[in-house]
Structures are given as C-alpha cells and as structure tokens.
Structure 1
Amino acid sequence: MSEDTSRKDNHYSTNNLASTTTDSSSSNGSKVTDIEIIKNRKLEGLKIPLEKDVQAKNTSTYLEYVMLIHNALPELDIDEIDTSTTFLNHRFSAPIIIDSMTGGTDKATVINERLAMVAEELNLGMGVGSQRAGLLSDALRESYSIARKSAPNAFLIANIGGVQLKSITLDDVRRMIEMIDADAIAVHLNPLQELIQPEGEPKFKGIYSKIVELVKSIDVPVIVKEVGSGISRDVAVRLELAGVKAINIAGSGGTSWAGVEKLRADNTKAVMKSHLGELFWDWGIPTAMSLLEVRRSVRIGIIASGGLRSGLDIAKCIALGADICALAWPFLKCAAESKESVLDYARMLIEELRAAMFLTGSRDIKALRRVRYNLQGPLLEWFSVYGR
C-alpha cells in the first residue's frame, strides 16, 4: 500500500501506518511491523501492572492525612442519600470514572468490553487507553470501539498523548473521537513515563500550543490529565487559560508508570532507562496535595485520580474539591477476572461512598463538598506553607 502523499510531516494516517515496517527485529531475526511493536507494548502495559508490584514504594496519595469530621446526628436515613452528580453536562449515578487504561491488543478488547458493560449498567464514566494504535488498523481499532458498542449511553472519554499531538493531524484526533463516539477527549501528559520508556519521546516543547489549537478546533470537551505524577498549580492555571474544560490531576501514590517502564527497560537491557526508572519510581505530587493545589488555583472541572482505592477515598477527594473521581488499577485487576468482578467492585465503591456520606451527614454530593475536614501530618505542613 502506497504512502498517503497528501499528508506532510510524517502525520499518521490509517492506511500508511498499517503497512510500514521498522528496523526492529524479533528474537528469531525476522522483521516486525509497527502494529506488532505497538501490540506488544500495549500487552506489556497490561501484564506488568497485573503481575508485578508497581505501586508506589515510599510515598502515598496523602489521603490518609485527610480526616472527614464525623457527624453523630446526621438527620437523614441511609436510603435518602443521593450519590448522583453532573459533570461536563452529563448526569452520573455516582462521581466515578473508570479511568483510561488500555487498547491495542486482543486482551484489551476483552477488558474494555467488560469495563464498558459495567459503565453502562451503573451509569458511570469510562476512558480508554491512548488511541494512536487505533489509527493503525481495523483490528486495533476494535479494541477501542468495543467500548461504545458495549456502552451505548455511557460517558466515554477518548485519549491521546500530548507528545503525539505534534505528529498527528486534527483529522486524526477526530477519528479517535469517532472511534468510540466520545463525549470528551483526554490529552495525557506523561513526561516521566516518556523519559523512562525504552522507546519514549521526552520531547514536550510546543505541546501547550497544540493543546490550545485542539481546544479551538474540536467539538467535544478537552480534558488534560497526568498519568500518575500530579498536576501543579502553575500547570493548572496555564491549562485553564488554554480553554480546557477539566483537569485530571492523577497524583502520585498509586501505580508508578516509571516503575512499569523500568521493568520494561530491564527486559530490553536499557541500563540507563532502568536506573532512571528506579530513581524516579515515586516521583510526583501526592494526590491529595495536587488536588488541594489545583482546586485553589482554577475554576474548571477537576477529576481526582491517582491511587484511589475505596469509596472513602472518593468522599475525601470530593470534600477537598474534586468534581468527580477516577480509578484505573483496581478496575483493571477486576476486568482481568470477569465482568462480574468489575460490577461487584463498582457497587462496593458506591456503597462505601454512601456510607461516608451518611457518616458526615451529606444527603447528596453537593452537601459532601461542604463537609468539614482536618488535614494532618505532612499534608498539613505543606498546606500551612503553600496551600493557602
């Protein structure tokens, strides 16, 4: 298949990428295609978090330093509590998004199908993994489009890396949105991951202007997210000025993508990459700290994520100022087992959230945003100096 000569500057297109080969070779010396390389990387991105311990080592989300004030006289019955909320003009049954995880492999198709079925059944949000792979072939596209097929009414979020905005066209982005009939698109910022990844592209110059251009050109809301190192107030302010509709802070304390890429670097004997991955394993702004900092800096929507594991974590994040919360790794573990496992976990999260709301006297999410809380330990120390 010939190269699409109407595209310039190495822009990706559905036709020309699927047929190209690289200089990479398989272990038996044969050439491997771009599709195979991406499928292998996507599969490793699933297998390593599922099979290895790549959670934070010596840091945390700092949510353990947030104490919600108990209400001994809540003046409401548990069945009165309403966990529903509105975010980006969509009504959710609970402030929960199944965060961006995967795509680009056969296993990802199964996982995204299970996650989407639960998002549809419980009226939760869902994001898919980075969709550049979906431009390569119909086979890879299916691993993403299965989400909309399985969740015709759920709020779905498309996904592209900030670095990739420099090498794809706006039409490519529109195809990603159409791929899952997305309600929004997330641009993920992952400088640490790109730095450690054996085939990474730590070239972030010019990405801000690309985000500005994207916001002006795309019809769906643009969300900008980190992938586990947090968003600072300075970056948040710049993103609000760029016109993005929401920020997913994705703080540190949960899955370490530096850790994931360090293990991948070990497999390829990339010694320096492995060293950097070990050194920066816990790098980032803890989730609670990032949330407090961003909420006091911008008025746009905030998605809290990064190491959230329970409905109590969700309640704390809402009290600290999040509009909605997102979780990835726990849902990935469940989806690797069965759709029923995902459903059970999601229902448990909602019941845990409902319990926290009852114990703080919060009839609805709006009331939960007003509850009193205390900050403790290093989070209080930081807030006393920088957070006010």
Structure 2
Amino acid sequence: MISDRKLEHLLICKYYDVEFKNKTTGFEDIELIHQALPEINKNDIDLSTSVFGKKMESPLFITAITGGHPVAKDINKNLAIAAEEMNIALGVGSQRAAIEHPELADTYTVVRENAPDCLLVGNIGAPQLNLADKAVEILDADILAIHLNPLQESIQPEGDLDARGFLDSISKICDTVDIPVMAKETGCGISSETAKDLVNAGIDYIDIEGAGGTSWAAVETYRADDRYLGETFWDWGIPTAISTVEVTSSVDVPVISSGGIRNGLEAAKAIALGADAVGMALPFLKESVSVEDIIEYINKFNESLRIAMFLVGANNIEELKNSNLIIKGETKQWLEDRGFNTTKYSRR
C-alpha cells in the first residue's frame, strides 16, 4: 500500500544514513571571493525574493518531505506553521496517496490550513496527468511540482519502469493546470539537455535536486530484500553544484538548487552560480521535532546566508547572483568537459 511505503520512507530517512557515500555536492569546489571592504551594512541585507510568484523573506524552500500517512500529518502541520511564520516556501510529498485514498487527504490539507499565505508547492509524478487538477485542489497549491525519479523507480520493488511518453505528459500537465508548473528531480540532478526539454514542454520552474544529499537508491536499499542494486547505484547522479551550472546556463526560468545543501554558505554558492533559490528537506526531518526547532533552523540558515552575503558585499539576492567566484577541482573539470565556461564567474 502507498501509505505503508510513505511511512517506511519517513522512518528510513529519519533514522538511517541515506546520504551519498563517495560523491559530494561539489560545493567544496566553489570559492566565493572575499571582500575585505564589503561597504555594506550587514543588518540591511535583504534576503527576500519574488521570482516564484509570491514575495518570500528568504530564498529557502522546504522541499518535498512527506504526506500520505497519518504520521505525516503532524510533521506537515509543524512545517506549515513554521513556513508561514518565517514566510518561506514549502513543498509536500507526492499527493498520489491522497487522491487514491481520500482518507489520507488531511495529511496534505493540514498544510494550507496552517499556512494560508505561504507559497505552497504540490507534487505529482510525471505519469499522473489525471491527478494534476485534484492535486492542486487538495493543497490549494501555488505551484505544482512534477517529480522525476527514474533511479528510485528502478530500485524499488513496486517501481514504474516504463518512462515512455513522460515529456508529452508533462507538456499536457502544463497545459491543463492554471498555476505554474515546476519540474523537480529527487536527488540525481538535471542536465542541461533535460532542462531544455522541460522548458520546451512548458515548465515554468526547475528544482534540480542534485547528487550529494539524500540518495533515494540508499532509501530503497533499506527496503529491499536484496541490497545489490541499491548499493550499486547509491552514488548515482549529477552533483548539485554541477547541475546548478548546467541548468542555469542553459534555460531562462527560475531555478531552485537543492540536494545536500546544509547551510547558508552553500546556499550563497548555489545562488552565485545562478540559482534563484535553494531547497532543503532532510535536515528538517532529521533535526526538527517541533515548530520551534524548525524556526530555529531556518533562523540559523538565514543568518549564515546573510554573513556569506556580507563577506562578498552583496546587499540582496540579485547582487549575490552577480558576485565573483572560482570553480576548481573535479567540478571545474566536469563542467569544462561538458563545454561550460567556468572562468566567466571569476570577474563579473
């Protein structure tokens, strides 16, 4: 049953090591250029952004975590209360469970009930064209995310392995719903080629969810009777820093950089690489048990982002996007082998 699978995913993510083993996000290869004379007032730095349709006080998205099991209701409620108070964006897990099992709908509707003004992101899979309108209705969503998870589907016993026609389905979903549509990976990143295909299909926003954070191959490994496949593909994917460059250099839509970002310094690097916002999920599940915990974590994130912006002399997110940085190491090699000019970031 879908609900049981949702609970298994929650418990595994919370209590097991599900992060990449031998592959990182690549942000250790990104160096922001320190400004000894920033010539700005740190207390005046503006973290707000409006590029996703509503003004948010921080570029932080709490990306899709949960829903579809009674245990998820309290988690989503606490996340919603915190997101509303801090005026940041919040996404939910796949809504298929609520649509196929209406008795689970309150694990999602609790979000809008407790976050009436928050930017909320719904969530369905690419094959689920017939669920799009209902997903938007259940959540009263501002954006509908279509998740892409071919690796997870390949590993999980009940996975959907026929990926034919997904791009056509995505195009139809974009034409069907009357709110913006976001495409999001689930931990393996998005390439420049895929990003172009998605935008050509009508996608308004992209959440790259690159490699280096949660590995859904790892999650499915803990569920499997035979761990061979999950362990083989545990570290599969495009590192987040690399995917951020590939996507932001290739398409002209707002981009969320996510996948292993854990603090405001890494977020600042992602934004300086071209992202408009950043997403985090696992830390809110691992470290947060109450509304107060969530708000404290958000405040720490915002403060570390503000310090990073102060140290590069950026008054706001747009100035941070134009700050100088150096790309080095394996990240530089990967990007240059793929035809991207890494030197353009060093003197802007």
| TM, length-normalised to structure 1 | 0.86
Q: Would the aligned equivalents of 1:134 and 1:140 in 2 still touch at CA under 8 Å? A: yes
Partner of 1:132: 96
Residue 276 (structure 1) shift: 1.2
Residue 241 (structure 1) shift: 0.6
**Of 163, 175, 185, the match for 1:204:** 163
Partner of 1:242: 201
Q: Helix, strand or coil: the match of 2:182?
A: strand
Structure 1 distance, partners of 2:139, 2:214, is: 26
**Of 172, 185, 188, the match for 1:229:** 188
Q: Write the letter of the residue equivalent to 1:317.
A: A
1:376 equivalenced with 2:328 (yes/no): yes
Deviation per CA, 1:178-210: give whole Å up to 9, x if none.
Answer: 111100100000000000011111211011101
Q: Write the letter of the residue equivalent to 2:113.
A: K
Structure 2 distance, partners of 1:314, 1:57, is: 21
**Alignment coverage as a number of residue pairs:** 340
Structure 1 distance, partners of 2:188, 2:4, is: 25
Residue 164 (structure 1) shift: 3.2
Partner of 2:12: 48
Q: Would the aligned equivalents of 2:73 and 2:110 in 1 still touch at CA under 8 Å? A: yes
Identity of aligned residues (%): 45
Output aligned runs, 1:256-335, within 5 Å. 256-265=215-224, 269=225, 271=226, 274-335=227-288
Deviation per CA, 1:81-129: give whole Å up to 9, x if none.
Answer: 1111112221110101100011011211011001111110010000000
Structure 1 distance, partners of 2:127, 2:115, is: 29
1:78 equivalenced with 2:42 (yes/no): yes
Q: Would the aligned equivalents of 2:49 and 2:58 in 1 still touch at CA under 8 Å? A: yes
Q: Helix, strand or coil: the match of 2:94?
A: coil
Q: Write the letter of the residue equivalent to 1:260.
A: V
Q: Write the letter of the residue equivalent to 1:187.
A: I
Q: Write the letter of the residue equivalent to 2:242.
A: M
Q: Write the letter of the residue equivalent to 2:16.
A: K
Partner of 2:132: 173
Q: Would the aligned equivalents of 1:315 and 1:357 in 2 still touch at CA under 8 Å? A: yes
Structure 2 distance, partners of 1:129, 1:184, is: 13
Partner of 2:85: 121
Partner of 2:109: 145
Deviation per CA, 1:47-105: give whole Å up to 9, x if none.
Answer: 00111101100000001110000011011111111111112221110101100011011
Q: Would the aligned equivalents of 1:87 and 1:324 in 2 still touch at CA under 8 Å? A: no
Partner of 1:348: 300
1:188 equivalenced with 2:150 (yes/no): no
Structure 2 distance, partners of 1:288, 1:38, is: 33
Structure 1 distance, partners of 2:3, 2:251, is: 38
Partner of 2:56: 92
Structure 2 distance, partners of 1:173, 1:295, is: 27
Structure 2 portions without partners, runs of 5+: 342-348
Deviation per CA, 1:279-316: give whole Å up to 9, x if none.
Answer: 00000000000111111111111110000100111111
Q: Would the aligned equivalents of 2:62 and 2:280 in 1 still touch at CA under 8 Å? A: yes
Partner of 1:10: none
Partner of 1:361: 313
Q: Would the aligned equivalents of 1:195 and 1:201 in 2 still touch at CA under 8 Å? A: yes
Deviation per CA, 1:250-274: give whole Å up to 9, x if none.
Answer: 0000010000001101xxx2x3xx3
Structure 2 distance, partners of 1:368, 1:332, is: 29
Q: Helix, strand or coil: the match of 2:55?
A: strand
Q: Helix, strand or coil: the match of 2:128?
A: helix
Deviation per CA, 1:200-252: give whole Å up to 9, x if none.
Answer: 11211011101111111110000001000000111001011111101111000
Structure 1 distance, partners of 2:52, 2:89, is: 11
| TM, length-normalised to structure 2 | 0.96
- Distance change >3 Å, CA 139–CA 334, structure 1 → 2: farther
Structure number with greater Rg is 1
Partner of 1:11: none
The farther-off stretch of 134-143 and 191-200 is 134-143
Q: Helix, strand or coil: the match of 2:178?
A: coil
**Of 179, 202, 212, the match for 1:253:** 212
